[in-house]
Amino acid sequence: MKKVIFFLVIVAGGAYYYHFHWGGRVSPYQIVQRGSEQALVATIGDAKVDFTIGRSFEETFMLFGASGEGDDQSDASLSGIPLGIASSLLRRYPDFHRCDSPGAKEAQASVVDILIVTDKRDVRKLLRTIAAEFDKRIRNKGERLCAKLSGSAIVLNSLQKGGEVLTAEQFASMIPAGAIEQHHVFVQSVEMMDCRNVL
């Protein structure tokens, strides 16, 4: 297990973080046909990441967290409650986003993490703007921020480096029980908006 975890850290640092900072270079992401399915792959040096592209994805989230920086699984990430659930909570608990609200426990259980992969510079730029705006509003106790993501759901198949492979099953086994639900999304467009305008 220690070897697998170490391998994950090495591949993550060498691949995903670099992806986020490819700057003016050609995007490392490629879409390839694999039988009846499409795969999203990227190769940087001897590191390779492989996803299967799934169904279309379009959802708006009330944000409870945002990072415009890459981590070990993505180019950026958002944490939030899907708009439909947020609307339902708001009708029953107008202050559900507050920690002392009677609806806080239900709200916390509804939060999902969206791990974002994108090959578009304008999307990456807006994700950084969203993260900065989210932080500013939290500090100033401002209006809640929402974000709409459009693209495709993707499933992580494997990470490879130096002839070793970390499979999706091995990766899933490292996620603690009770952790926040996570979804990878290959994002093609993103919109930022005040939640009060859409709830």
Segment (H or E) for 138: helix 121-140
Q: What is the pLDDT of residue 71?
A: 54
169 to 1, 4, 72, 117: CA distances (angstroms): 13, 12, 16, 20
Number of domains in the chain: 1
Provide the token pair at 90.
């708001």
Computed over its alpha carbons, how large is the radius of gyration of the chain?
A: 18
Provide the token pair at 171.
């990766």
Residues 40 and 117 sit within 8 Å (Cβ to Cβ): yes
Q: What is the pLDDT of residue 73?
A: 58
Residues 118 and 51 sit within 8 Å (Cβ to Cβ): no
Domain that holds residue 55: 2-197
Q: What is the pLDDT of residue 81?
A: 97
**Per-residue pLDDT tens listing for the chain (199 residues):** 444 444 444 444 444 444 444 454 567 789 999 999 999 998 766 778 899 999 999 999 999 999 998 754 578 999 999 999 999 999 998 888 888 889 889 999 999 999 999 989 899 999 999 999 999 999 998 899 999 999 999 998 988 877 788 888 887 787 777 778 889 999 999 999 999 999 8
Q: What is the pLDDT of residue 44?
A: 62
Long-range CB contacts (< 8 A, 24+ apart) of 117-120?
Answer: 117/19, 117/29, 117/40, 117/51, 117/74, 117/75, 117/154, 117/184, 117/185, 117/186, 117/187, 118/75, 118/76, 118/151, 118/186, 118/187, 118/188, 119/27, 119/29, 120/187, 120/188, 120/189
